[in-house]
Amino acid sequence: MTTPLIDPFARAITYLRVSVTDRCDFRCVYCMSENMTFLPKKELLTLEELDRMCSTFVKLGVEKLRITGGEPLVRRGIMTFFNAMGRHLESGALKELTLTTNGSQLARFADDLYAAGVRRVNLSLDTLDEAKFAEVTRWGRLPQVMKGIDAAQRAGLRIKINAVALKGFNEDELFEMTEWCAARDMDLTWIEVMPMGDIGNESRIGQYWSLKDLRQSLAERYTLTDLAERTGGPARYVRLEETGQKIGFITPLTHNFCESCNRVRLTCTGELFMCLGQEDVADLRPALRNFPTMDAPLEEAIRAAIALKPKGHDFDYSRQTVDGRVSRHMSHTGG
């Protein structure tokens, strides 16, 4: 048996998030600037290199693989990669292959994703108002996303809606989004906005809506029951007794989740970030490209990177300054 990946704080690393592209067909205001300079395509790992990289992580004990971007479904030929990862599901080495998407391409790919072994999709959606959706995504169109949700549910994919809590933007839609998700049998997770990258004139402090306040608002209308359930990610869950649905809270700022972190993030260029909120990075490309027929150098490089995984991040808004912020955009690291 290959020795599993254990970090310096005795946490087993079983979850890999992989950005397959930094490109996106939206320009969400909390994620990137409108006029982004994307990486030259030659710097991106090829689909074959992504296969080899992810397969090595699976060999070393990764059991959950989440494909992210940018928007992963805008990468040319991406289903080739999903189909390749499906072999690890069939062997039992990989327990789950999932996707985070903005939904814009789901109508095209939903059936193919299900055929490749994907069963759950996280879909980023911050508002049900068409005009506000166009405002927050800059380039996105809500009807296109709604068609994608319809197609995904017809294909048998379980959808979870991820909504970024934005003060003064979607506070007034809290109950509407809750009821809409309940009616469509979709879980809903709220995420605190994180200090990632230069986003132009947008203010992180101005955007910040504490999930403590959001939860309190929910509790005024619904009966909330805390759940012990964890899905391998950072969310804490409650059940709304009146609707039976599950609501998640991802709170890197008011309550970080570092003590149980079991994940690392691979960028589309082969850089491994051991923590979303730290700048520590390990470049795995030399081990991948300089030894195309040897697995040992890549395995050793991965183990060396995991040995550097920090205890936690330093995101902090409490002093009304964005302490602990990182310079890279979320689309580069993988959303």
| Of residues 107, 202, 117, the one with CA closest to residue 164 | 202
181 labelled as ligand-binding?
A: no
Q: Read off the pLDDT band of 328 (50, 70, 90).
A: very low
Residue 194 is predicted with a pLDDT of 66
For the segment 96-150, what is each residue's pLDDT rounded down to a tens digit? 999 999 999 999 999 999 999 999 999 999 999 999 999 999 989 999 999 999 9
For the segment 141-169, what is each residue's pLDDT rounded down to a tens digit? 999 999 999 999 999 999 999 999 998 99
The answer to whether residue 204 scores a pLDDT higher than 60 is: no
Give mean pLDDT, residues 303-307: 96
Q: Read off the pLDDT band of 307 (50, 70, 90).
A: very high
Work out the percent of the chain whose per-residue pLDDT is above 70.
84
pTM of the model: 0.87
Residue 94 is predicted with a pLDDT of 98
* Nearest-angstrom CA–CA distance, 20 and 75: 7
Number of neighbours of residue 141 by Cβ within 10 angstroms: 15
28 labelled as ligand-binding?
A: yes
17 labelled as ligand-binding?
A: yes
246 labelled as ligand-binding?
A: no
Give mean pLDDT, residues 279-297: 93
317 labelled as ligand-binding?
A: no
Work out the percent of the chain whose per-residue pLDDT is above 90.
70
326 labelled as ligand-binding?
A: no
Give mean pLDDT, residues 59-66: 97
210 labelled as ligand-binding?
A: no
Phi/psi zone of residue 185: left (φ > 0), alpha (ψ -120 to 50 degrees), beta?
left
237 labelled as ligand-binding?
A: no
95 labelled as ligand-binding?
A: no
268 labelled as ligand-binding?
A: no
The answer to whether residue 44 scores a pLDDT higher than 50 is: yes
Give mean pLDDT, residues 23-52: 90
160 labelled as ligand-binding?
A: yes
Residue 192 near residue 253, CB atoms below 8 Å: yes
* Domains assigned to the chain: 15-333 (3.20.20.70)
2 labelled as ligand-binding?
A: no
54 labelled as ligand-binding?
A: no
Residue 113's H or E segment, with its range, is helix 106-116
Edge-to-edge order in the sheet of strand 64-68: 224-227, 236-240, 246-250, 187-192, 158-165, 120-124, 96-101, 64-68, 15-19, 263-266, 271-273, 281-283
For the segment 205-260, what is each residue's pLDDT rounded down to a tens digit? 467 888 999 999 999 999 999 998 866 567 899 999 999 999 999 986 554 567 77
| Of residues 64, 126, 122, 169, the one with CA closest to residue 335 | 122
Residue 31, both tokens: 């994620």
225 labelled as ligand-binding?
A: no
Angle at alpha carbon of residue 146, lines to 211 and 121, rounded to 5°: 60
Q: Read off the pLDDT band of 313 (50, 70, 90).
A: low
Residue 237 is predicted with a pLDDT of 94
Residue 201 is predicted with a pLDDT of 47
Q: Which amino acid is at 213?
A: D
Give mean pLDDT, residues 322-326: 46
* Nearest-angstrom CA–CA distance, 316 and 334: 21
Name the more confident of 254 and 88.
Answer: 88
Residue 225's H or E segment, with its range, is strand 224-227
* Nearest-angstrom CA–CA distance, 291 and 175: 54
Looking at the DSSP assignment, which residues form a beta bridge with residue 64?
15, 96
The answer to whether residue 324 scores a pLDDT higher than 50 is: no
263 labelled as ligand-binding?
A: yes
